[in-house]
Structure 1
Amino acid sequence: MSSNALNDGWKKDLSPTILETTSNLSCHGSMLGENSHGMALQLGVVACQGATPFSLVYGMEAVLPVEVEIPSLRMVMDAKVTEAEWCQTRFDQLNMIKEKRLIAMCHGQLYKQRMKKAFAKKVRPRVFREGDVVLKKILTFKPDSRGKWTPNYECPYVVKRAFSGGALILTTIYGEEFTRLVNADVVKKYFA
């Protein structure tokens, strides 16, 4: 008998127990839906959103299978609520779901701005001026017979003109000008 067969037998024995307990509880077990048992849920609050993904989709917090077996304070409080009150509370939660999503979206945008600001603090801008000597990265997609000994940069070039967006016009040491602009990302200063 494989361990998978043992696992399947355990699931078959446990599923009716959970379903029976859920339906026996007076906390509206039938309204908990499929997600109240047998399904893995992401219950942690996402830092950038300030809410769980489950609550953003369904408008309420997820119920763990453990909470069905051993009622938590939240489940006990739900058990004391009448059917009409529970339905009204659920309806109010569903009406507020758009606001929750909007708040989560704002939290996400603020989180991105904080991350961008933190990253921008560490970035050192590379400034190239006319007359700087630079090496240009070799961007090749063909395999070279030299393997890892293949050079990564081409011979020194001189910056003829530097634009504000990071584009450069390069010339060789002999004065031959490149026909195309080169991005500042593919060059580095050459110190001889």
Structure 2
Amino acid sequence: MTPRTSTGENPFRMAYGTEALVPVEVGLGSYRTEVYNMETNNFGLRANVDLLEEEREAAYQRNMKYLLQAAQYYDSNIKKRSFGVGDQVLRELAASMPTKQGKLQPNWEGPYKATEVIRPGTYKLETLTGEAIKNTWHASRLRKFYQ
């Protein structure tokens, strides 16, 4: 019965094309139950079914707008990290060696040198002695190293 935030409609209306009648309304009597007429009700139900696709399309558009706003809000709080070739970085220990992490272990290891940008946000690394690291690393798992 409660309209969803994302669509602005309640699920019953989206499924059946009409508003649900709550049992309390039947027992206590409401305007809808007092002015009920079988003929006009059937006409109204047929009209609701005819307009149901338009209502669903409008709800779909509201849902897409809601999802876009949620994504923009989430993305506004993310700090973009980018490194150049030759930059020194630290690598997250939990990503490189998940079995060796613990409460008293350091969170970052390194420094390493970024040798290649595979695509924006993905890097190949090597140790400072020139030994290549076999995997590629995402920028979210790296941190700039300052000496």
Length-normalised TM-score, structure 2: 0.86
Cα displacement (A) at 1:73? 2.1
**Partner of residue 154 from structure 1, selected from 77, 85, 109:** 109
Structure 1 stretch displaced more, 56-65 or 158-167: 158-167
**Partner of residue 86 from structure 2, selected from 131, 141, 149:** 131
Structure 1 stretch displaced more, 154-163 or 47-56: 154-163
Partner of 1:188: 143
What CA distance in whole angstroms lies between the structure 2 residues aligned with 1:111 and 1:141? 37
Cα displacement (A) at 1:160? 1.5
In the TM superposition, what are the counterparts of 1:34-45 in structure 2 within 5 Å? 43-45=1-3
Partner of 1:29: none
Does the C-alpha gap of structure 1 residues 84 and 104 become closer, same or farther in structure 2, counting only changes over 3 Å? Answer: same
Partner of 2:27: 69
Matched, 1:101 2:56: yes
- On the 8 A contact 2:82/2:120 being kept in 1, the answer is no
How large is the Cα RMSD of the aligned pairs? Answer: 1.9
What CA distance in whole angstroms lies between the structure 1 residues aligned with 2:103 and 2:75? 33
Matched, 1:87 2:45: no
Does the C-alpha gap of structure 1 residues 113 and 58 become closer, same or farther in structure 2, counting only changes over 3 Å? Answer: same
Q: Indicate the structure with greater strand content.
A: 2
Greater Rg by CA: 1
Matched, 1:60 2:18: yes
What CA distance in whole angstroms lies between the structure 2 residues aligned with 1:92 and 1:166? 53
What CA distance in whole angstroms lies between the structure 1 residues aligned with 2:77 and 2:92? 23
Cα displacement (A) at 1:141? 4.3
Deviations along 1:8-32, one digit per CA (max 9) or x if unpaired, are xxxxxxxxxxxxxxxxxxxxxxxxx
One-letter amino acid of the structure 2 residue matched with residue 177 of structure 1: A
What CA distance in whole angstroms lies between the structure 2 residues aligned with 1:157 and 1:178? 9
Q: Which has the higher contact order (CA 8 A, sep 6+)?
A: 2
Deviating runs (4+, > 6 A) in structure 1?
none
Length-normalised TM-score, structure 1: 0.68
The percent identity for this pair of structures is 26
One-letter amino acid of the structure 2 residue matched with residue 150 of structure 1: Q
What CA distance in whole angstroms lies between the structure 2 residues aligned with 1:179 and 1:120? 30
Matched, 1:169 2:132: no
Partner of 2:73: 118
Aligned residues between the structures: 145
SS of the residue corresponding to residue 125 of structure 2 reads strand
Cα displacement (A) at 1:122? 2.6
One-letter amino acid of the structure 2 residue matched with residue 88 of structure 1: F
What CA distance in whole angstroms lies between the structure 2 residues aligned with 1:147 and 1:182? 22
